Amino acid sequence: MSTTIATPPKTRRRSRRDTSPAAAKPPRRGDLLGYARVSTDQQNLALQLDALEAAGCRRIFRDVGSGSLKHRPQLEECLSFLRPGDTLVVWRLDRLGRGLKHLIELVEDLNSREIAFKSLTEDIDTTTSGGRLTFHIFGALAQFEREIIRERTRAGVAAARERGRVGGRPPALTPDKIAIAETMRAQKKMTMPAIAEALDVSVATLYRHLPPRPAALAASPDAVTGDSAGRRAGARRHPPEER
């Protein structure tokens, strides 16, 4: 009589993916993700972190740097980490955008990706109709501010033109400097590079502003050609006598 030995059932070996921490898993639909920022290392993130954790944020991204910086690594990582259905939460509006225009653009981009936005201090939540209305008002105010700045700029340029002021880069040589350069050149004591160095301009700029000398005009290729042609014509009219 043969006996069979029962073998225990094989157990599936647990993979590394199963033992990874929960924070490394892809975000579930409807997660609250926070973003906090301070301008310098001396400032403390504790107030923002406490508020974001109390709001139920599953993960919080943190930046240290001025809000005017265009490149903020943790903000970029946060925006790429968000998925449709998630909500980006900040403690206050100025923690997120460099300005009102930048803030509006960020929230519009989140809205196009089906991601909500919430600001705790201002009590703005784009998942509600009241929050969306508030943000539309902010957008209208931003557009109004841009129009006002544009009108003021046009009015300032028009007023400056009426007073004889023209925008653009000022000339390198003023009329007084041009007169000084002409006097220096007429004295024939300094070379043109020396005059340009004394007036703090380039030699090309000096030549561009000074009229050419009469001697230079006489020695120009056209003048030389004309004189040579005249001599040749005279030689044809008065051939040399034969010896």
* Tokens 């005017």, residue located: 68
CB 134 within 8 A of CB 142: no
Compute CA distances 215 → 67, 111, 210, 220, whole Å.
64, 74, 14, 9
15 catalytic per annotation: no
CB 70 within 8 A of CB 98: yes
Q: Are strands 59-64 and 32-38 parallel, antiparallel or unpaired?
A: parallel
CB 101 within 8 A of CB 141: no
Compute CA distances 97 → 91, 122, 132, 187, whole Å.
12, 14, 17, 63
Q: How many other C-beta atoms are found inside a 10 Å radius of the C-beta of residue 142?
A: 17
Of 2, 15, 39, 112, catalytic: 39
Show the tokens assigned to 77: 């990582």
* Tokens 């504790």, residue located: 46
Residue 58's nearest CA partner among 87, 96, 95, 91 is 87
Q: What's the burial of 118, exposed, middle or buried (CB within 10 Å: 0-12/13-18/19+)? A: buried
Show the tokens assigned to 115: 């991601």
Active site residues: 39
